[in-house]
Structure 1
Amino acid sequence: MTTKYDLVVIGTGAAASGVAYKCRAAGWEVAIVDSRPFGGTCALRGCDPKKVLVGAAELIDWNNRMLEHEVISGRPQIAWPALMRFKKTFTEPVPQNREKGFADEGIATFHGRARFVDQTTIQVGDDTLSGRHVVIATGAKPGALGIPGEEHLITSTQFLELEQLPGRIAFVGGGYISLEFAHVAARAGAQVQIIHRGARPLEGFDPDLVARLLQATRDLGIEVRLNASVGAIERKGDHFLVR
C-alpha cells in the first residue's frame, strides 16, 4: 500500500527539519525519512559535539596563557574519556527529541534507507511513500582517496567517538575540520601532524589569516607538511605508517 504525502523529506538534519516544519505549518502532509539516528550531522556528529571539544581546548589555551603571566599555577589537562562522556550528554538525547518534535507537529517519521521507485515514490523497508515533492537533504560524506590502506583511515565522525585519544595522530588534508581537530588533539596532549597536498591549507580563505593560523598551529607543536600527497597507509603493529 502506498501512502501519499505532499512532501517527503530524506534526512533529518537542520536543512531537512527546516523544510519539513515549514511545509507542515503551511498545512502540507509531510513525511520524513532517515537511515541513521534522527538529528543529522550538525547535532550528532558535526558542529555541536565539535563545539564541546573545542570548548575544552579553549580552556586549556586560556590556562596556558595565564600561566605565562603567573596569574594561575598548575597546568590542567584534558581527561579525554570524561570529555567524551560529557559530549554524549548533548548528543544522546537528540534523536528521541527530534523525532518527538516531528510527531508533535504531525510529521510522519520513517526509519530506514530511502530508495526511489520512481521520481516521486520512495520505498523505505516495507513502506511505500508517494510525494508531490521530494527533498533530498542527506548532507555530504567524506570523499574516497583511492589509495592502498584507505580502510585504516577514520572520518571526523569516528574522531568524535574516540574513547581514547591516540598519543600520535595524523590528519590527511588541510581543511578547516582538520585544523580544528588538530588543535583539539594537540591541546589534549597528542603529538599531531597535518599532511596537505597543496601549497597552503584552507585555500579558499584569506591568505593573511591563513598564514597567521598556520604559524599559530606550528607554534602549538603541530607539524604541518605541505605539498605532500599521501600515497598509501600501512599497519605496523599497533600503529600506522603513512607514505
Structure 2
Amino acid sequence: MAIEEFDVFVIGSGTAGKSVAYDCVEAGMRVAIADNREFGGTCANRGCDPKKVLVGVTEAMQLSANLKGKGIVSTPEINWSDIQKFKSTFTDAVPAATERDLKEAGIKMYHQSPRFLDENTLSVEGKTVKTKKIVIATGQTAMQLKIPGREYLKISDDFLDLPELPESIVFVGAGYIGMEFAHIAARCGAKVTVVEFGSRPLAPFDKDVVSHLTEASEKLGINFIFNAEVTKVEQLQKNYRVVYNQNGTENSIKARMVFNTAGRVPSIADLDLDQGNVAFEKDGISVNEYLQSTSNPSVFACGDVSASGSLPLTPTSSQEARIVSENIRNKSMIEMNFPPVPSVVFTIPQMAAIGLTEEEAQKNGYEYVVEYKSVPKWFNSKRINEEVYAYKTIVDKETRLILGAHIISHQAGEMINLFVLAMCGKLKCEDLKAMIFAYPTWGNDIKGMV
C-alpha cells in the first residue's frame, strides 16, 4: 500500500487545528486533518457554545425572578426538553458544516486518532502517513477519577445532551464546569450538591470575590460539601450513592445522577507520543517559545493540549494557532507572547477576572493598592434588583497601572473586556477615569473601580 505524504498533518479539528489547516492550505501546502470525534472541536460541539445557550435561558428566568413584584407578575416555567431542542439548532450542523468547509478547501480528512510511528510518520485509518510537520491540537478531555464505581460517573458531554433533567444531581468538583452546570441545573429545578476536594469553589480565582458567588449559590439552593475526597460511587435501585471522606470521617450522599466535573487533562493518551519522540508533561505537549515540541522539531502544539502556560480557553487557542501557522509557513519563527487573558465563569451572577489576584501580587513583591467593595446599591445592579455585585482591583502603587481586576456581577463577562483594553493598552487609572463612557451602562462602572 502506498504511503501518503503531506506537508502538514493536523491532529484535532477544533478552533486551533482548523485555523492552522486553513492557513497552511492557503499557502499552497498539502494538508491533512484528523479527529476521532465529530469534526468542529469541543467548544462548538460540546463545550462553551452549547453551555452558553443553556445559560441564556436561565438568565431570562433569573432576571424575571429578580423583578417579580416589581412589574413582573410571575417567573417563567422552564421546559428542559425545549431548551435541548433550541441548543441543538446551534450544535447539530457543526460537524457536517466543518467537514464541508475542509473538503472545499482541499484538506484531506481522517476520522480516527493517529498514532506516531516515528518523528515524521503516523498511522491512521490503517494507512501510513509521512508528513513534514505535525500539529497537535487535540484539546483536553475529562480527567478520570480512579475510584471504585467510576463507570457510573457522567461527564460534561452527557450533561449537555440530557434528554431529561434528573430530580437530583451531585457534581464532583467545583471548578468552571461544576459551578456553571450546578447553576443551570438548580435553576431548572434539580436538587444540586457539589462535592469539592478543596475548601472553596474556583481555587484559581480571588477568594474574596468567590465568597460572594458561594453565598449566592447557596441561596439558590446548591449544597456544598467542601474538604471532601470522593472515595467511591455505588449504584442503588434508583439512585447512586457518593461516598466521601471529610475530615477523617466517611459520609455519603444519594442522587439520581452523578457528574465528574473534577477537571480536564490533555487529550494525548491515544497518540503514542513516545514513538514520535514528543515530550509531554502534566499540562500537555512540552513546547518552546515558538510552540514547537522541545524534543521533536517537526511537531508543534497549540490550544488546550499545549503546555504553553496559557489558560485553556478558546481565545488563547486561536492566538496559539496563529503563531503555529506563522512558524510553519515562514522561515523566521516568532515567539508566543501572551497578553493579559480574561476568564469568565458563566454562573448567575457571572464572575470574571484578569491579571493577578491579591495573593499573587503579594507573592510577586509588588507594591500595590487594593480596592475591594460590595456595591449592590450601584444603579446598574439596583435597577434589576440584583443583590450580588462586588469587585476587587489591584493597582501598582507607583505606576498606577492595573495589575488585576476581579468582578462578580450580572455583566462581569462584558465588563472584564474593558479591563483587557486597559491592561493591554497600559492605561493608568487616571486615563480610565478621564474617559467618557455611555451612561448608564455596566461598562461605565469600571471608572468607579480604580
TM-score bracket, normalised by the shorter chain, equals over 0.9
Matched residue, 2:11 = 10
Instruction: Return the offset for 1:129.
Output: 2.0
Q: How far did 1:75 drift?
A: 2.3
Secondary structure of 1:57's counterpart equals helix
Amino acid at match of 2:76: P
Q: Provide the residue aligned with 1:122 in structure 2.
A: 122
The alignment's TM-score, normalised by the length of structure 2, stands at 0.53
Once the two structures are overlaid, the 10-residue window that deviates more, 84-93 or 115-124, is 115-124
Q: Tell me how far apart the structure 1 counterparts of residues 126 and 13 of structure 2 sit (CA, whole Å).
A: 20
Is 1:50 the counterpart of 2:51? The answer is yes
| Corresponding residue of 1:179 | 179
What is the alpha-carbon distance in structure 1 between the residues aligned to residue 42 and residue 184 of structure 2?
Answer: 19
CA distance in 2, matches of 1:59, 1:155: 26
CA positional deviation for 1:119: 1.7
SS at match of 1:122: strand
**Runs of 4+ that moved beyond 4 A:** none
The CA deviation string for residues 197-236 of structure 1, in whole angstroms up to 9 with x for no partner, is: 1011111111121111111111111001111111111111
Q: Distance in 2 between matches of 1:199 and 1:191?
A: 22
| TM-score normalized with structure 1 length | 0.96
Deviations 1:143-162 (A, max 9, x none): 12111111110000111111
1:174 Cα offset (Å):
0.9
Structure 2 residue aligned with 1:77: 77
Match of 2:192 in 1: 192
- Using the TM superposition, name which of 20-29 and 45-54 deviates more: 20-29
1:87-106 equivalences under 5 Å are 87-106=87-106
Distance 1:68 1:4 in 2: 68
Alpha-carbon distance in structure 2 between the residues aligned to 1:47 and 1:228? 28
1:88-237 to structure 2, matched below 5 A, reads 88-237=88-237
C-alpha separation in 2, matches of 1:143 and 1:93: 28
**CA apart distance, 1:2:** 1.2
> Radius of gyration: which is bigger?
2
Deviation at 1:190, TM superposition (A): 0.5
Partner of 1:25: 26
SS of alignment partner, residue 189 of structure 1: coil
Q: Which runs of no fewer than 5 residues in structure 1 stay unpaired?
A: none
Higher relative contact order (CA 8 A, sep 6+): 1
Which has the higher mean CA deviation after the structures are superposed, 4-13 or 119-128?
119-128
Q: After TM superposition, give the deviation of residue 67 of structure 1 in Å.
A: 0.7
> 1:124 is matched by which residue type in structure 2?
V
Show structure 2 runs of 5+ residues with no match: 244-450
| 1:19-60 deviation digits (Å, cap 9, x = unpaired) | 111112222111001111101100101011101111111111
Give the letter aligned to residue 55 of structure 1.
G
How many positions carry a matched residue from both structures?
A: 242
Q: Distance in 1 between matches of 2:193 and 2:41?
A: 29
The CA deviation at 1:68 is 4.4
- Bigger shift: residues 42-51 or 111-120: 111-120
After TM superposition, the structure 1 stretch with the greater mean CA deviation from structure 2, 22-31 or 212-221, is 22-31
2:36 aligns to what? 35
1: CA distance, partners of 2:20 / 2:85: 32
Deviations 1:142-194 (A, max 9, x none): 11211111111000011111100000001000101100000000010101011
CA contact under 8 A between 2:110 and 2:125: conserved in structure 1? Answer: no
- 1:232 partner SS: strand
CA RMSD in angstroms, aligned pairs only: 1.1
**Higher share in helix:** 1
What are the Cα deviations for residues 71-124 of structure 1, in whole angstroms up to 9, with x where unaligned?
Answer: 111221221111111111111100111011111211111112312222211222
Aligned counterparts of 1:20 and 1:61: Cα–Cα separation in 2: 42
